[in-house]
Amino acid sequence: MCKVIVIGNQKGGVGKTTTTSNLGIGLAKKGKKVLLIDADAQGSLTASLGFQEPDKLDVSLATIMANIINEEDMEPDYGILKHDEGVDLMPGNIELSGLEVSLVNVMSRELVLRTYIEQQKERYDYILIDCMPSLGMITINAFASADGILIPVQAAYLPVKGLEQLIKTIGKVKRQINPKLEIEGILLTMVDNRTNYAKDISALVVENYGSKVRIFENSIPMSVRAAEISAEGVSIYEHDPNGKVASAYQSLTEEVLADE
């Protein structure tokens, strides 16, 4: 059985992309077949996995979605890139912006990505989708395709308001389009354990959401080593294998696997 997890939060810079790649590669290291999907026009996931110029790729998620809209047949592995650390990648790039605009006039516009994912499910154990920092139509497509949503929250700012809106949107998608959608959990990222402020924010998230939503036991610490990997094209397990961020993503991987 394939599980589809969306990494989403309309707040920018909270660790969505870093979490998608390092959770995905963590799962691959545990022997799982993993497809990562870059559903962000910024192409950060694609670039951070070493495909430095996403906008120059011939085939990306926008091509795939356009083909689905036009009912064109594709080979299952069409456009999928391979990363050395054992994950597959459906890259994303700037063309997603144009596609998002054109979706407005498409029949079943919320379900285009789901059609692709349904085709991929038999080939993978996990499909992780990295969302852009918005709740636009591409993100709704991702929510409509998912079993669960993992919400990274940066522990350095008061996230409460943005989270309300996100949880509301998730509820709406669940009621109207995708009844099986669940919130996988909130993941605290960039936690600086030396400051009381980070502890306060963590406590506040637990207090406000702990009864409704799982808060992952493992949070991701702040570290420059994590900030360096996007330029290296490798995971934190390669870049700083003995560091605290590698160990945190390893533990998160185990927490996700424990749900199986």
Piece in contact with Mg ion (CB under 5 A), picked from 25-33, 38-46, 91-99, 195-203: 38-46
Closest CA to 257 of 32, 50, 107, 106: 32
Cβ closest to ligand ATP, residue 68 vs residue 191: 191
Q: Which residue type is seen at 66?
A: A
Q: How far is the CB of 15 from ligand ATP (least distance, A)?
A: 4
The reply to whether 44 sits near Mg ion by the rule CB under 5 A is yes
Q: How far is the CB of 42 from ligand ATP (least distance, A)?
A: 6
Q: How far is the CB of 98 from ligand ATP (least distance, A)?
A: 19
Asked if residue 6 lies in contact with residue 129, where contact means CB atoms within 8 angstroms, the answer is yes
Asked if residue 217 lies in contact with residue 258, where contact means CB atoms within 8 angstroms, the answer is no
Closest CA to 233 of 45, 59, 39: 45
Report residue 250: phi and psi, to 5°. -65, -45
Cβ closest to ligand ATP, residue 203 vs residue 227: 227
Q: Could you give the CA distance from residue 5 to residue 41 in angstroms, rounded to a whole number?
A: 19
Q: How far is the CB of 134 from ligand ATP (least distance, A)?
A: 9
Residues 6 or more apart in contact with residue 206 via CB below 8 angstroms: 215
Q: How far is the CB of 72 from ligand ATP (least distance, A)?
A: 29
Residue 15 contacts which entry, ligand ATP, Mg ion, none (Cβ below 5-8 A, type-dependent): ligand ATP
Q: Which of residues 5-34 bind Mg ion (CB under 5 A)?
A: 16-17
Tell me how far the alpha carbon of residue 168 is from its chain's centroid. 19
Contacts with ligand ATP by CB under 6 A lie at 12-18, 40, 44, 133, 189-190, 220, 222-223, 226-227, 230, 245
The reply to whether 141 sits near Mg ion by the rule CB under 5 A is no
Cβ closest to ligand ATP, residue 10 vs residue 120: 10
Q: Could you give the CA distance from residue 218 to residue 232 in angstroms, rounded to a whole number?
A: 25
**Footprint of Mg ion (CB under 5 A):** 16-17, 44
